[in-house]
């Protein structure tokens, strides 16, 4: 579900769940384990032409209540495993980064993008955001986070750069190499000082997440509800009809 390789002291974690690296429970668990195991700078990217097109809705709809409950918990854990990694994390967004894929990208320290679209489309599907997802996106996207979440649209790389969601637009053939270079350069700073600075910068977001347990319980209840499953099935049916 992921490929790990080391380049110049940087671990490259490549999401690999064809065709669009959709997030299912297995992939989330591998991301969690990978991020909790690796040390030092990390680059996140996707296999093929997508970074991650978001939640595997078919797996969610077919998996039942137990799967949905485990999935939404694992989604928050994967986001935080990236966000809390003490060393530099660079997202090499090599294509579409939609919904949960966008959130994973926003959890990194630096974001480079080569093409495709990016955005928070959860409301279009009919599921609420876990607290960790929304707070991290609010921090990374700044004042445009509300518009991103409430309008549920995707934008291209140039627009994402203009809004400050990403740090640079990089040609697709260069994006992983540039991300590795960036991660390696950041990794040359004192590891302890980088980790301490990152922890301080994240403190307000972390406090909001830690205070959101009650809200997350409501989110989980929504994700496992029959009403939500019906909305997801309706969304999948509309996609199949080409709407």
Classify strands 89-93 and 117-119 as parallel, antiparallel or unpaired: unpaired
Residue 3: band (very low, low, confident or very high) from pLDDT cuts 50, 70, 90: confident
Residue with the bigger pLDDT between 173 and 7: it is 173
Task: Note the pLDDT tens digit of each residue in 13-46.
Answer: 999 999 999 999 999 999 999 999 999 999 999 9
The rounded distance, in Å, linking the Cα atoms of 98 and 55 is 9
**Degrees to nearest 5, angle at CA 179 with 80 and 48:** 85
Query: With 0-12 CB in 10 A as exposed, 13-18 as middle and 19+ as buried, what is 243?
Result: exposed
Give the DSSP letter string of 165-234.
SSSEE--GGGHHHHHHHHHHHHHTS-HHHHHHHHHHHHHHHHHHHHTTHHHHHHHHHHHTSHHHHHHHHH
- Once rounded to an integer, what is the mean pLDDT over residues 36-60? 96
Instruction: Read off the pLDDT of each residue in 143-148 and give the average, rounded to a whole number.
Output: 96
Give the integer Cα–Cα distance in Å for 164 and 158.
Answer: 10
| Over residues 133-142, mean pLDDT | 97
User: Mean pLDDT across the stretch 133-154?
Assistant: 96
Contact 43, 10 (CB under 8 A): yes
Band the pLDDT of 8: cuts 50, 70, 90.
confident
| Domains present along the chain, CATH in parentheses | 2-172 (3.90.226.10)
The model's pLDDT over 223-239, given as tens digits with 9 standing for 90+, comes to 999 999 898 988 888 88
1 pLDDT tier (thresholds 50, 70, 90):
low
Confidence band, pLDDT 50/70/90 cuts, at residue 219: very high
């Amino acid at each position: 579900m992921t490929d790990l390789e080391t380049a110049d002291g940087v671990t490259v974690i490549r999401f690999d769940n064809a065709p669009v690296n959709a997030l299912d429970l297995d992939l989330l668990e591998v991301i969690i384990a990978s991020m909790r195991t690796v040390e030092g700078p990390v680059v996140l990217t996707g296999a093929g032409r997508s970074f991650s097109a978001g939640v595997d809705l078919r797996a969610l709809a077919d998996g039942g209540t137990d799967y949905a409950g485990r999935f939404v918990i694992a989604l928050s854990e994967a986001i935080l495993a990236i966000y809390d990694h003490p060393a530099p994390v660079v997202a090499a967004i090599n294509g579409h980064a939609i919904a949960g894929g966008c959130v994973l990208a926003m959890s990194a320290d630096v974001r480079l993008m080569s093409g495709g679209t990016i955005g928070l489309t959860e409301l279009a599907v009919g599921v609420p955001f876990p607290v960790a997802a929304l707070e991290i996106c609010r921090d990374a996207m700044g004042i445009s986070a509300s518009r991103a979440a409430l309008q549920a649209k995707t934008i291209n790389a140039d627009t994402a750069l203009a809004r400050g969601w990403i740090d640079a637009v990089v040609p697709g053939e260069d994006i992983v190499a540039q991300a590795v270079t960036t991660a390696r350069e950041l990794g040359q700073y004192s590891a302890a000082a980088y980790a301490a600075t990152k922890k301080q910068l994240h403190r307000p977001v972390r406090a909001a997440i830690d205070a959101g347990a009650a809200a997350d319980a409501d989110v989980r209840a929504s994700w496992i509800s029959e009403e939500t499953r019906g909305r997801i099935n309706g969304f999948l049916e509309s996609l199949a009809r080409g709407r």
